[in-house]
Amino acid sequence: MTTPADFGDVGAPEFRERAHELVEWIARYLDAPERYPVLPPLVPGATRNRLSPSPPKEAEPLARILADFETQILPGLTHWNHPGFLAYFANTASAPGVLAEFLIAALNVNGMLWRTGPAATELEQLTTDWLRQLLGLSDGWFGMINDLASTSTLYALAAAREVDAELDVRRKGLAGRDLPVMRIYCSEHAHSSVDKAAMTLGIGFENVVRVKADAEFRMRPDALREAITADRARGMKPIAVVATVGTTSITSVDPVPTIADICAAEKLWLHVDGAYAGVAGAVPELRHHLDGVDRADSFVVNPHKWLFTPMDCSVFFTRRPEVLKRAFSLVAAYLETAEQDVVVNYMDYGFQLGRRFRALKLWMVLRAFGADGIAARIRHHCELATMFAGWVRAESEWEIAAPHPFSTVCFRHVPAGLSLAEVNAHNARILDRVNESGDIFMSHTMLGTTYVLRVAIGNLRTGESHLARAWELLRGGAAV
């Protein structure tokens, strides 16, 4: 029998014993996450204060470490896998995804090159193509898996910056040169990752033009056209437009077909951000929200948001992988391989060298749910949202704040006779009361100067009873 002393790791017998216990623990957890409050007591420093400030000198037994996880760390966690989690964009680490993560860690594959994990690379190409088919997109898309939509959008804009080979930013950088100011356009409701990409790429967030939206929070194509024309007249260089399918605050959908027309006429890179709502393309009656996406240069959708895949998994598609490769490929001598001209080496398509074997979890989740299962769950979440919105609409002094095409509802309580500032503060207090319950965790957003509450349904275990509890807490909070 091997012991840790033999090779420094825990030996197989103990691993087996602890792993069996852990599987039991996880199974119980996934079965009833409601045993824990969805939001822990929000006391800064509480977890840190429970833990040893310095690392252990002597090796500690796994059993003790796992026991401490339960008593010292778990009480300080927010439970994203809890069915009462209705904040931000609720998500699910489904059981097939959890098992995949176990295997991913055990194999520890780093798919930087095809040869450092041939099956990992090929599975990444296959699963992203499966997802493309599920969403009803045409062929001709190159897919890769990144950690986050923030990364995927950064890649899209880095490629857009590289389209004009004369700029040669890749080689010469931006500083100390006579270059035009580059401009990126997105709606006023687009995600802050667009600004962060502009910051990171040296374009500057002031050069992200926030185009006005219409009454339903969709980018106005006429305003986009005007902004581009005005910038060109000032000698600036428009490079890309980011359209959003499912904006983060209110899940509005920009008019992608019209924006695609403008991008074609203006020769601009079109990136579509469908981080949350992109997977709605798997549901026939929601598929129209992806109309026009096939004409984009790039598209991002996050299976870790609404496709039951554990954090992290963001799928980035581009029709122009050669431009992405031009932006990022740099092959050091020690990374050259004989097969590099006939295989995909994913390190050529981004700034990261090493990459996790995320394709395995996407493959397991897609197979374990199937196209029909995925569509059924997403459809059900949308039905729950419609039901919840119905309760809000039916009650006096409560109002729906924006259309809800998917599974997220924005709303607020508007008691008569209060100023806007007072109504805003009143709704913020309601939110605090709901979140103190431990049963439900919700978040808010600002629509202009209006504070609105937000219910986002995306956890597989969320059902009518959880929404009924949320509604009870909301009405109770409003009555105080």
Ligand X SMILES: *Cc1c(COP(=O)(O)O)cnc(C)c1O
The residues of the shown chain that bind ligand X, judged by CB under 6 A, are 89, 148-150, 191, 193, 244, 246-248, 273, 275-276, 302, 314
Instruction: Write the DSSP symbol of residue 219.
Output: B
* Residue with smaller CB distance to ligand X, 131 or 275: 275
> Which of residues 11 and 403 has its CB atom nearest to ligand X in the complex?
403
Q: Which is nearer to ligand X, 169 or 213 (CB)?
A: 213
Please identify, using beta-carbon distances, which residue of 260 and 301 lies nearer to ligand X: 301
Q: What is the per-residue DSSP string for 253-293?
A: B--HHHHHHHHHHHT-EEEEE-TTGGGGGGSGGGGGGGTTG
| Burial readout 82-114 (b: 16 or more C-beta within 10 A, e: otherwise) | bbbbbbbbbbbbbbbbbbbbeebeeeebebbbb
Q: Which residues contact 12 (CB under 8 A, 6 or more apart)?
A: 2
* Tokens found for residue 365: 């989740």
**Shortest CB 396 distance to ligand X, Å:** 32
Give me the amino acid identity at 12: A
Hey, is 453 helix, strand or coil? strand
The pair of structure tokens assigned to 129 is: 């193509």
| CA gap 28, 9 in Å, rounded | 27
Smallest gap, in angstroms, from Cβ of residue 149 to ligand X? 3
Cβ proximity to ligand X: between 131 and 473 the closer is 131
Contact 436, 417 (CB under 8 A): no
Residue 128 tokens read as 């992203």
Residue 436 C-beta: closest distance to ligand X, Å: 26
CB 340, min distance to ligand X, A: 30
Closest distance to ligand X from the beta carbon of 247 (Å): 6
CB 361 to ligand X: min, Å: 15
Q: How far is the CB of 246 from ligand X (least distance, A)?
A: 6
Using CA atoms, how far residue 395 sits from 86, 295, 382, 419, 427, in Å, is 21, 43, 21, 20, 16
Pick between residue 120 and residue 149 the one whose CB is nearest to ligand X: 149
Residue 446 exposure: Cα atoms within 13 Å on the Cβ side:
7
Q: How far is the CB of 90 from ligand X (least distance, A)?
A: 12
Nearer of residues 231 and 254 to ligand X, judged by Cβ: 254
The three-class DSSP label of residue 300 is strand
- Indicate the burial class of 308 (C-beta count within 10 angstroms; 0-12, 13-18, 19 or more): buried
Q: Return the number of the residue (187 or 437) whose C-beta is nearest ligand X.
A: 187
Question: DSSP states of 55-76 as a string?
Answer: --SS---HHHHHHHIIIIIGGG
Q: Which residues contact 308 (CB under 8 A, 6 or more apart)?
A: 91, 92, 93, 94, 97, 365, 369, 374, 377, 460
Distance CA(69)–CA(51), nearest Å, equals: 10
User: Considering the complex, what minimum distance in angstroms separates the CB of residue 464 from ligand X?
Assistant: 25
- Shortest distance, position 387 Cβ to ligand X, whole Å: 23
Shorter beta-carbon distance to ligand X: residue 37 or 281: 281
**How far apart are the C-alpha atoms of 294 and 137, rounded to whole Å?**
6
Could you tell me if 275 and 302 are in contact, meaning their C-beta atoms sit under 8 angstroms apart? yes
We find the least distance from the C-beta atom of residue 130 to ligand X, in angstroms, to be: 20
For residues 245 and 430, which CB has a smaller minimum distance to ligand X in the complex? 245
Q: Which is nearer to ligand X, 85 or 89 (CB)?
A: 89
CA 279 to chain centre: 11
